[in-house]
Amino acid sequence: MIDQVTTYAKAIVSKKILASKKVVQACKRHLKDLEKSEQDDFPYYFDVRKSEAVIKFIGSLPNPDDGKPMTLINYQAFIIGSLFGWKKKETGYRRYTMAVVSMARKQGKSIIVAGIALYMLRYEKTPLVARQIYTAANKRDQAKVTFNYAVAFLDSLRKISKYFRQHTRIKRDEIEDVTSHSFIKPLSKDTKGIQGLNALLGILDEQADSNDCSVLEAIQKSQRQQEQPLTIVISTVSTNVNGWFHEKEYRYATQVLNGEIKDDSYFAIWYEQENEEELQDEKTWIKSNPILISKKISKKLLPKLREDWERAQSMETTTSSKIFTFNMWQQASEDSYISVKEWANTLVEDKPNLYGRDVYLGMDLARVGDLSAVSWVVPIEEENKFYVDGHGFVGTRGGIENKIQRDKIEYSMLHKRGEVTFSNLQSGNIDDQQIIDYIYNLINEYHWNVIGICYDRYSANHIIDTFNEDGFTMIDVAQGYATLSEPTKQFRKLVQDKKIMHPDNRMLEIAVNNSVVKSVNDAIILDKTMYRNKIDLLAALLDAFTQAYNHDFSTSYSKDDDYYENQFHF
């Protein structure tokens, strides 16, 4: 029997089809699980007959434009067949309850999700009746996009099928299966009764721009009594690099595919270009545009993609093309300081030994009571690199929940991660003593040799005086092009050259993601008129880097130092 899922997986893994790392990982996962399914202690098996049945149904849906079957392309078959073919040995129910699928625009995503919705409306057996299926989004017009696709497919299907005319009915905002009293409805945040659902299937389309995952949470909470629920999030990426889809879902999908997290009920596949260099080689564009595998479609689509990309480069407006055409996360501004990918490439899981090192400290202190930051740059001499990190201090005037809503930053989550400290003051203003104590604790913990503490003169207060009195070298960093331009350029270059190391600090990542530069002639500095976007940790880091970028690696460390560490212990 034909097995389109396994055939596609083998073609990807054997490199017969060029694919991104995450697609290769998803296909390897399928093949490895197929091998493990032969073992008694592996709880899942792959039902080829079921997989092919669903693929066949969705591939038979008539195109609303010409009435011809919407024959599926191999990657569409892989996604659909994976979701329905993998089952639990104990119950026969579907294995996957959550699926995240991402690819460039115009890849036939609507066929996948609308087809799945129609299949489950008519053919699902668990439950036999009252199956609730929702096409969901934060706003009603977006929620109706997938719903309208399902309507169009069903309308065409009803014209050629007496069976579907008998069993289904299309209403204004509902598709009904009259036999089982089941339905498909659009669902948005403002839908009445959103907390009282009992969803079997929830489909969320184009979620990358959303700052609010309340609809997803409402669907998943409502599925707790379902025996084999399914939630599908399918989206192209966006500029919203601090939103939940990037910060939570993209990270989690990456960890699952990397094998860092074991989640057998979570399906993920991500079609994306992996670096800027690939954009210059159109042979690699299939990584984010899997539909190009079709010669018929490629003949029409590829010239259009090529034309759009060439125009975007000529006009220096490549951000939207990188997002929609190549599914690459981008900051909103063309003047973004450091790209998402560049920063991610310098992340290290294992922190180097920081004990007894030189350190350059930077402070960006709030004038009133909003957010302050302390960052540090530690030269790692044996690697000729800098390790950087930081910590935020959050004012709580008006309540932390109001601040979360205003800044669109999950401070409570960051607080749990140990990346920010909330003010202890009753007024909610920044507590200077907390900052002082944090810096002293940091210095004492690592026995650092503090080369200097750098600060912005316009936010000077008694914190500066305290460290002055204790004999630290305090460096007043003028906030202008003459002082900051070269360090700002050098820091970015070192990030690009992977000479910077940093931990998984979400607060620092938010600052980097939000940072935009302004320029005069060839000089650049961070644009602090965008301060509402909270770049404080990066601003403090660059203050410290005004001194650190001149650090002399050649004289401060020698491998011979290990002699004194190892030779005299008896």
pLDDT value of position 314: 86
State how far Cα 105 lies from the chain centre: 17
Q: What angle do CA 554, 557, 562 make, to 5 degrees?
A: 145
Strands (E), 12-69: 44-46
pLDDT value of position 559: 47
pTM: 0.82
pLDDT value of position 318: 87
Compute the Cα dihedral for 63, 66, 67, 68 and give only its sign: negative
CB atoms within 10 A of CB 5: 28
With H, G, I as helix, E, B as strand and everything else as coil, classify residue 505: coil
Q: For residue 91, is pLDDT > 70?
A: yes
Q: What CATH number belongs to 342-556? A: 3.30.420.240
Q: List pLDDT tens digits, range 152-205.
A: 999 999 999 999 999 999 999 999 999 999 999 999 877 666 667 899 999 998
DSSP 414: H
Cβ pair 184, 174 in contact under 8 A: yes
Among 551, 550, 503, 239, smallest CA distance to 389 is for 503
Q: List pLDDT tens digits, range 517-565.
A: 988 988 999 988 755 558 999 999 999 999 999 998 876 554 455 555 5
| Mean pLDDT, rounded, for 434-461 | 90
pLDDT greater at residue 519 or residue 19:
19
Q: List pLDDT tens digits, range 259-308.
A: 999 999 999 999 999 988 999 999 999 999 999 999 999 999 999 999 99
Q: List pLDDT tens digits, range 497-523.
A: 999 999 999 999 999 999 999 889 889
DSSP 240: -
Strands 86-88 and 230-235 turn out to be unpaired
Residue 267 host element (H or E) = strand 266-270
**Whole-number percent of the chain with pLDDT over 70:** 94
Burial 202-215 (b: 16+ CB within 10 A, else e): bbbbbbbbbeebeb
Amino acid letter, 297:
I
**Mean model confidence pLDDT for the chain:** 91
pLDDT value of position 403: 87
Q: How far apart are CA 175 and CA 179, in angstroms?
A: 12
Among 103-112, 114-123, 180-189, name the most confident range: 114-123
> Cα Rg for the chain, rounded, in angstroms?
27
- Alpha carbon distances (Å) from 118 to 114, 154, 454: 6, 8, 61
| Mean pLDDT, rounded, for 77-99 | 97
List the chain domain ranges.
4-270, 276-327, 342-556
Q: In what order do the strands lie in the sheet with 132-136?
A: 168-170, 175-177, 182-187, 132-136, 199-205, 230-235, 98-102, 266-270
Q: How far apart are CA 400 and CA 173, in angstroms?
A: 39
Strands 230-235 and 199-205 turn out to be parallel
What confidence category does residue 405 fall into, taking pLDDT thresholds of 50, 70 and 90? confident
pLDDT value of position 41: 95
DSSP bridge pairs for 453: 361, 474
With H, G, I as helix, E, B as strand and everything else as coil, classify residue 551: coil
What confidence category does residue 447 fall into, taking pLDDT thresholds of 50, 70 and 90? very high
> Is it true that 4-270 and 342-556 share their CATH fold?
no
Burial 511-528 (b: 16+ CB within 10 A, else e): bbbbbbbeeeeebbbbbb
Strands (E), 98-181: 98-102, 132-136, 168-170, 175-177
Q: For residue 490, is pLDDT > 80?
A: yes
What confidence category does residue 15 fall into, taking pLDDT thresholds of 50, 70 and 90? very high
Q: Give me the CATH topology for the region 4-270.
A: Rossmann fold (3.40.50)
Q: Under 8 Å CB-to-CB from 566, ≥6 apart: which residues? A: none
pLDDT value of position 556: 54
